[in-house]
């Protein structure tokens, strides 16, 4: 695990910030349980490491974005892509997020100093995910077409 190795080799003696990427999986993620389960595990790791490493001056946080438009959509089956493309209709902003919007949350968590201050802008933030979901919630999806189990697996992967 990279975070553990970085902590052992540098941060234990020098402090630092770690930001993990998870996902806005708190309300479930129909048809994407594999991803939600993995990211929930990473969130548990984030909270555990934050508690264990705080005495060494290490802050561990996570960013949990909602739907973000990316080339990753191309890896899903056509059936799954059709469902994914309907998602923005369920979000109050009516669109997917973008990489710049997510990176702003990461930049805040990694910030070193506020202007005219010696404290980091996010200096008192640890172990809490910065949710960036645009108000989205998979449970808001209506009129979803039923999908076969594990349709997230491309046929090439089988």
114: how many CB neighbours lie within 10 A of its CB? 12
pLDDT for position 9: 95
pLDDT for position 90: 82
User: What is the rounded CA–CA span in Å between residue 83 and residue 138?
Assistant: 11
Q: Which residues of the chain have pLDDT under 70?
A: 112-158
pLDDT for position 151: 47
Ramachandran quadrant class, 95 (left: phi over 0; alpha: psi -120 to 50; beta: rest)? beta
pTM of the model: 0.69
Structural domains of the chain, with CATH: 2-134 (3.40.50.720)
pLDDT for position 140: 46
pLDDT for position 13: 94
pLDDT for position 94: 85
pLDDT for position 137: 47
pLDDT in tens, 87-123: 888 878 888 888 888 888 888 888 865 445 555 565 5
**Cα→Cα distances 32→23, 28, 138, 144, 150, Å:** 11, 9, 10, 14, 8
* Closest to 111 measured CA to CA, from 12, 8, 19, 45: 19
Burial profile 25-62: b = 16 or more Cβ within 10 angstroms, e = fewer? bbeebebbeeebeebeebbebbbebbeebeeeebbbbb
pLDDT for position 119: 57
């Amino acid at each position: 695990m990279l975070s553990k190795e970085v902590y052992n080799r540098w941060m234990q003696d020098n402090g630092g910030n770690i930001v993990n990427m998870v996902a806005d999986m708190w309300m479930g993620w129909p048809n994407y349980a594999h991803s939600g389960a993995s990211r929930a595990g990473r969130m548990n790791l984030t909270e555990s490491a934050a508690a264990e490493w705080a005495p060494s001056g290490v802050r561990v946080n996570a960013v949990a974005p909602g739907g973000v438009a990316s080339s990753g959509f191309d890896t899903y089956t056509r059936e799954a892509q059709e469902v994914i493309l309907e998602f923005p209709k369920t979000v109050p902003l009516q669109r997917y997020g973008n990489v710049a919007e997510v990176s702003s949350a990461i930049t805040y968590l990694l910030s070193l100093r506020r202007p005219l201050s010696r404290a980091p802008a996010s200096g008192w933030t640890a172990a809490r995910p910065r949710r960036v979901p645009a108000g989205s919630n998979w449970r808001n999806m209506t009129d979803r077409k039923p999908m076969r189990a594990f349709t997230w697996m491309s046929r090439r992967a089988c």
